[in-house]
Amino acid sequence: MNAPDRRPVLLVRPDGNERDAAALDTHGIASSIDPYLQTRACDDPMPARRLVGLLSAAGAQAVLVITSPRTWGHLESAAGAAPLERAAATALNQGLRVFATGRGTLDTLPEALAARAETAPNAKALVALLNDTVLPQIRALPMPVVEALAILPGSLIARAELPEGLRAGGWRVLQLPVYTTDSRPDTPTSVGALACGAHSAVLLRSSSAARALARFAGPEGIGAGTRVLGAGPTTSATARDLGLDVIECTCTEPTALAAEVARVLGAPDTGWRDGGEAPDELGPDHPSRSPGVANSPLLRAARGERPERTPVWFMRQAGRSLPEYRAAREGIGMLESCLNPPLAAELTLQPVRRYGVDAAIFYSDIMVPLKLAGLGVDIVPGVGPVLDHPVRTAADVDALPELPDEALDPIREAVRLAVAELGDVPLIGFAGAPYTVASYLVEGGPSATHEHTRALMRTSPEVFDRLLDWVARADTAFLRAQVLSGASAVQLFDSWAGRLSEADYLVHAQPASGRVLRAIGRFGVPRIHFGTGTAALLRAMRDAGADVMGVAADLTLARANDLLGGRTVLQGNLDPALLSGPVEAIDAALEQILTEGRLAPAHIVNLAHGVPKDADPQVLAHIVDVVHDAGAEKGE
């Protein structure tokens, strides 16, 4: 039996790749996300503005059909959110019905529309619903004879299946193009890896994707043994016309499509699983479901809202410069502290009591999952994590023990104890990203060059990727235990990813981090992703599955917002080096950070790294006061 192909599948949509990646996860198939496409507003804003007038006059004879999560945001940008929502409210009062394809689209609509919207899984089902059920209802209304009107705002290059099906059924269809999709202006980083055969396949979801692949790579730029997979006949036909050797998949729904991809790649029906808990596994009593925590400034900002004040917290062992922290830990080792539930809970709570921050970060360390799995590891004062036996061969990886569920009981108890004292302050769960943890495993301890890690990645990529998978499983179990016990958000911390090129990150690190983030994303809690020295990786790290991107000191927030297209919540980024300087310099930096943070959808203030051990607690308290006093008013 052939060994499974561990090379990742390349996903190139402009957005929405996470659903395909999550479906591939269930078959043990790794994926890399590097968009070859971009969406942008149409040059002509009039169709979006026309919709405002149409909605104001619409009544029970009309339906509004939204088929993409991208549509409403582009409508708001062109027509204005307030006029659009007022017109929609008027239309709803006059009997307009709203339809959306899929949960993802529904979640992007304003609350009033989403509450009244009816859904169908795809265009074919929507045509059947509107033609067979809704149209007869409209024709039966006691009103003068009018044409039933279907209003379809959406893409300039939308597929014809929906409008043609509705016209054939008897609707008058009005299409309003508000955005379009085309190739991104710069060459994607993954083009080089694709040519070298670093990917098992590239998945094309649209004709636009096929054209982008042909533009950036072409038939000759796709490595031997790399399949080109087309989702559906239209996409596949376009790919063939462009000279691409495409394998046509008949399904487009993510779960069914992933099963087809698995068959093409020869992947087993069962593979690496992420645990299976859905968001409703948290239950109504989970802290994130309580009104106080759900409406806390931290969680509101993480959802992209603008709370009354900008939230602020300090990452990692946030209280380690406090005298009460040193007193509590006197004579107790780092890992021992993390695995003592009452002590870990106390150390989690100390920064909240002292500073009044808007979230608690769970007191832990990235080595804790390794310790719980039974590996010989210690944190040596003045040195850092040290492993008894480095992991550098296939046999070493094969010998790694899985993390037993019962070993996580001290983590669960510590989280429960902390949450019981936090009230409406959310707890953030914490883990080290797979690449960083794997680097420590390979090096056996801290390293300035990561020589052994880079050697294993390049000479034995299959072995290195299996090691990353092992860490991803341990990370997922570790974070799941925290979330199920009461954490309302998580942060994945990647200390060493900044040492990688973007190409290596996409092929090796992103697939593993993505599996962790997607597994936790199923709970519905916000996911923060942070790494040091990762300016060149910011988009790729976001695309791994982050809701909030932490920004280190190597980028301004304004530049980070530009790189992420202005659509991602930012966290950061006060340089910890400023904490030992004059307060005037801190205040000036905070003013710039708060100003630039207003450019993003929302902003959470934090340091650009962890709290230094010698930080003055009064300085940290001052930072919290400045941020809270500044409020969250948007600049001009």
* CA distances in angstroms from 73 to 40, 52, 253, 521, 617, listed in the order given: 11, 14, 23, 22, 42
pLDDT at 318: 66
Residue 114, H or E segment? helix 111-116
Token reading at 431:
């883990």
**73-119 tens-digit pLDDT:** 999 989 988 999 999 999 999 999 999 988 888 988 998 899 999 99
pLDDT at 170: 94
Q: Are 119 and 92 in contact (CB under 8 A)?
A: no
13, 316, 539, 542: which one is catalytic?
316
Q: Does position 276 have pLDDT exceeding 60, yes or no?
A: no
Residue 127, H or E segment? helix 123-129
pLDDT at 146: 72
pLDDT band at 194 (very low <50, low <70, confident <90, very high): very high
Cβ atoms within 10 A of the Cβ of 143, count?
11
Check the CA dihedral 541-543-548-551 and report its sign. positive
pLDDT at 270: 47
Token reading at 63:
């339906």
Q: Does position 492 have pLDDT exceeding 60, yes or no?
A: yes
CATH fold, domain 313-630, is TIM Barrel (3.20.20)
Q: 550 - beta bridge partners?
A: 571
609 is in an annotated binding site: yes
Distance CA 213, CA 184 (A): 11
**504-519 tens-digit pLDDT:** 999 999 999 999 999 9
Query: Is 329 part of the annotated catalytic residue set?
Result: yes
Cβ atoms within 10 A of the Cβ of 93, count?
9
Is 353 strand, coil or helix? helix
317 is in an annotated binding site: yes
Closest by alpha carbon to 546, among 72, 18, 14, 189? Answer: 18
Cβ atoms within 10 A of the Cβ of 474, count?
25
Is 530 strand, coil or helix? strand
- For residues 525-550, average pLDDT: 96
Is 185 strand, coil or helix? coil
pLDDT at 2: 58
Query: Is 440 part of the annotated catalytic residue set?
Result: yes
- For residues 201-226, average pLDDT: 94
- For residues 23-51, average pLDDT: 93
Q: Does position 187 have pLDDT exceeding 90, yes or no?
A: yes
450 is in an annotated binding site: no
pLDDT at 285: 93
**550-553: long-range contacts, CB 8 A cutoff, minimum separation 24:** 550/315, 550/491, 550/606, 551/608, 552/498, 552/608, 552/609, 553/577, 553/608, 553/609
- For residues 478-498, average pLDDT: 96
**58-77 tens-digit pLDDT:** 889 999 999 998 999 999 98
6, 13, 300, 320: which one is catalytic?
320
Higher pLDDT, 281 or 92: 92
In the chain, the N- to C-terminal Cα span, in Å, equals 64
Distance CA 152, CA 140 (A): 23
Is 154 strand, coil or helix? strand
pLDDT at 157: 83
pLDDT at 632: 47
Q: Are 386 and 380 in contact (CB under 8 A)?
A: yes
365, 469, 543, 547: which one is catalytic?
365
Percent of the chain residues topping a pLDDT of 90: 82
Distance CA 619, CA 61 (A): 63
- For residues 9-24, average pLDDT: 94
Domain ranges of the chain: 9-36+184-265, 40-181, 313-630
Q: Does position 633 have pLDDT exceeding 70, yes or no?
A: no
205 is in an annotated binding site: no
Closest by alpha carbon to 494, among 544, 444, 556? Answer: 544
Q: Does position 467 have pLDDT exceeding 80, yes or no?
A: yes
365 is in an annotated binding site: yes
179, 355, 440, 505: which one is catalytic?
440
Higher pLDDT, 9 or 270: 9
Q: What angle, 0 to 180 degrees and rounded to 10, lies between the N-to-C axes of helices 461-485 and 434-443? A: 120
Query: Is 365 part of the annotated catalytic residue set?
Result: yes
Domains 9-36+184-265 and 40-181 share a fold: yes
**121-170 tens-digit pLDDT:** 888 899 999 999 999 999 988 876 578 999 999 998 888 889 999 999 99
**428-462 tens-digit pLDDT:** 999 999 999 999 999 999 998 999 999 999 999 99
Residue 217 half-sphere exposure, CB side, CA atoms within 13 Å?
29
Which CATH architecture best describes the domain 9-36+184-265?
3-Layer(aba) Sandwich (3.40)
pLDDT at 5: 80
Distance CA 108, CA 86 (A): 17
Helix (DSSP H) and strand (DSSP E) numbers for the chain: 30, 20
Closest by alpha carbon to 514, among 546, 539, 488, 482? Answer: 546
**351-369 tens-digit pLDDT:** 999 999 999 999 999 999 9
* CA distances in angstroms from 584 to 611, 616, 622, listed in the order given: 19, 15, 11
38 is in an annotated binding site: no
Phi and psi at 246, nearest 5°, equal -105, 145
Distance CA 50, CA 73 (A): 16
Residue 119, H or E segment? strand 118-120
319 is in an annotated binding site: yes
Distance CA 182, CA 163 (A): 22
Give the distance, in angstroms, between the CA of residue 601 and the centroid of all CA atoms in the same chain.
15
pLDDT at 224: 86
Distance CA 612, CA 318 (A): 9
Task: Give me the CATH code for the 40-181 domain, please.
Answer: 3.40.50.10090
Q: Which amino acid is present at 626?
A: V
pLDDT at 145: 58
Give every strand in the sheet of 201-204, ordered side by side. 31-33, 9-11, 201-204, 227-231, 246-249
- For residues 208-216, average pLDDT: 95
Q: Does position 225 have pLDDT exceeding 80, yes or no?
A: yes
Cβ atoms within 10 A of the Cβ of 163, count?
20
Q: Does position 549 have pLDDT exceeding 60, yes or no?
A: yes
pLDDT at 316: 72
Distance CA 396, CA 394 (A): 5
pLDDT at 448: 87
13, 19, 329, 480: which one is catalytic?
329
501 is in an annotated binding site: no
- Across the chain, mean pLDDT equals 92
Q: Does position 470 have pLDDT exceeding 80, yes or no?
A: yes
